[in-house]
Structure 1
């Protein structure tokens, strides 16, 4: 999986031209199904060639880029390491591509703007979460979705307690005991098991503060939920050190060193899913209640205007798999609404198509009547 950020979305949204090509394909991660990745890509390149021909002289700038895309077909190793979807953008000069952890439909467009709605599921408030696995031996950070999880590698994140505190003699002062039926694992504790003495508790707290600083630098102002994975008595100490604004109250309890990425995902998603569902359902209920108060709107022109003024608190958009594909005008307006909402610190949720009667809906920070009276 490649790291797609809000700044990437804004950069793409702000680019305009006579012809910009966007293409998406669903991809497979493992098994015999990965053979489909290259086939789907080859098929969509046929659509790209058709779009270029239809664009006439404006499409000539893509000829060199199209040749480069054809070379990707021969990259066996790359096709074996895909995520759930592939997004590619051509502007005639640069090619941007991301392997993304969300399922996307096959899409190929050539417009004066990039088609971005499928990517918004990566940046919305119910699209992704983080998982931090911590033991004395290692620190691992993961980014997950409903269907997948992948390990991240922030440079500032300490490898373990030894590297974080720059000490070599701490092991002799830490006892070890069994934490699972599968074997033994090193644990932080003093002379009384979880009854940590002051020195060891302070040592662990300093360790977690190192981790907190690395997370703060790497995640910035992110609001995606963070799940902690570690032995039970470490979690309260981590909560004391952690300044991240969306650390969940439930954790994956146990030594994470014994778990691979898939096992961590299966244990963490049940913790995250209720959090996402509550936020999404709450947003839908708030929109239904906001209409009579002048704070709920579903006209795209009005939504874009409100988002431009920083007035949109929450934007609801139909799932990209909806049966009805937005027309060109709607797609451009959706791009603008999403980007302007995110830029102003608003939230974006993708909801099932049947939940909205129109392509998008917005909850405003203050009512239309209130705003007009200011």
Structure 2
């Protein structure tokens, strides 16, 4: 089971300040045979969180209150029976958020003044997350995938079939009654003409177009704020009709051909990855090449002291942040001052985290890259809009 996570869910996390803020990440398992392993891992992370909070001088009763929402999950059997690939938990004074997500997380605990959200960025950044819309006349499925994972999403608000979409105005099986135009003879009745609409190609296309428009309307809420590509899966003749109905700006030109009713999620995922993988590789490669060309100009930067204030001001078009690395320090938005520290403290935040968040919130692109991807030993970099 996956919980919804878009930029809208990110906003309250980054808006929380004043600490202490506890961020917990851990892998989870979809199979119920590993519930004990998952609950034990969360218990250990909570024990470590209790220790770190105590070291800040926080009183034991306050620590128990802060961690209580996560402690309560340990005995919630139903919760553990419906997991995805990763679990993210955020706890603060008066705030608690729990997300089951299709990402594998390394176990991680961060206690700081704000929530640590960089591990969530693959869901929002240009790094391999994509969607598959599998459509036939009898069934609609939406899958969210990454390179190694796939999960089927709930489709509340999206019609589940052609019949459901056109339930109230489907003319395919209806007979329309029309009286003939010539006047009736004296004492007689006008003759009736019955038109059965259900056979012409134009009628079929119109019904499919209205079906796809209903699907598209339902997807707008589910995919709002998303940057991920969408791959259509269906028989070939449906693709151009769906393209006509589609309003999602990142629908891929290529599609998974065939009847998706006969394809398991893993099969759809493999076929769709072949379509999106070149897109992701090309997007990152082109962005990196642009950075290399601009690196020696004032249109790019590679120090956090330059980049972070620019991202806050909305000047960063593209940001590169390193995967699985943190840079601890503080940032004052009013003065633009960035202070670095050698190790994590309760009054610090991950500055790479803040860079990515500010860039995303101001409609920039973020690439979470492996360390060593950028030239000359640079760990983070940016291309400016202006």
Matches within 5 A, 1:127-276: 127-166=128-167, 167=169, 170=172, 197-276=201-280
Residues 158-183 of structure 1, C-alpha deviations (whole Å, 9 max, x = no match): 1211121225673799xxxxxxxxxx
Picking from 283, 289, 299, the partner of 1:285 is 289
- 2:383 maps to 1:363: yes
CA–CA separation in structure 1 for the residues paired with 2:225 and 2:79: 32
Q: 1:24 to 1:162 in 2, by over 3 A?
A: same
Q: 1:118 to 1:221 in 2, by over 3 A?
A: closer
Secondary structure at the counterpart of residue 152 of structure 2? strand
CA–CA separation in structure 1 for the residues paired with 2:106 and 2:329: 17
CA–CA separation in structure 2 for the residues paired with 1:79 and 1:203: 42
CA–CA separation in structure 1 for the residues paired with 2:34 and 2:226: 34
Show the counterpart of 1:352: 370
Secondary structure at the counterpart of residue 250 of structure 1? strand
Show the counterpart of 1:372: none
Give the C-alpha shift of residue 149 in structure 1: 2.1
The answer to whether the 8 Å contact 2:32/2:81 transfers is no
Q: 1:292 to 1:58 in 2, by over 3 A?
A: farther
Q: 1:158 to 1:18 in 2, by over 3 A?
A: closer
Residues 86-128 of structure 1, C-alpha deviations (whole Å, 9 max, x = no match): 1111113222111122222211121111111111121102242
CA–CA separation in structure 2 for the residues paired with 1:226 and 1:279: 15
The answer to whether the 8 Å contact 1:52/1:62 transfers is yes
Structure with the higher fraction of residues in strand conformation:
2
Residues 33-85 of structure 1, C-alpha deviations (whole Å, 9 max, x = no match): 55421221121122011112112136753312434423322223322322222
CA–CA separation in structure 2 for the residues paired with 1:276 and 1:217: 24
Show the counterpart of 1:312: 316
| Structure 1 gaps, min length 5 | 174-189, 367-374
Secondary structure at the counterpart of residue 136 of structure 1? coil
Q: 1:16 to 1:346 in 2, by over 3 A?
A: same
TM-score (norm 2): 0.82
Give the C-alpha shift of residue 292 in structure 1: 2.1
Count the aligned residue pairs.
343
Show the counterpart of 1:49: 50
C-alpha RMSD over aligned residues: 2.4
Show the counterpart of 1:79: 80
Give the C-alpha shift of residue 147 in structure 1: 2.3
Residues 276-302 of structure 1, C-alpha deviations (whole Å, 9 max, x = no match): 111112222211111123222111121
The answer to whether the 8 Å contact 1:18/1:58 transfers is no
Q: 1:361 to 1:245 in 2, by over 3 A?
A: same
Q: 1:266 to 1:350 in 2, by over 3 A?
A: same
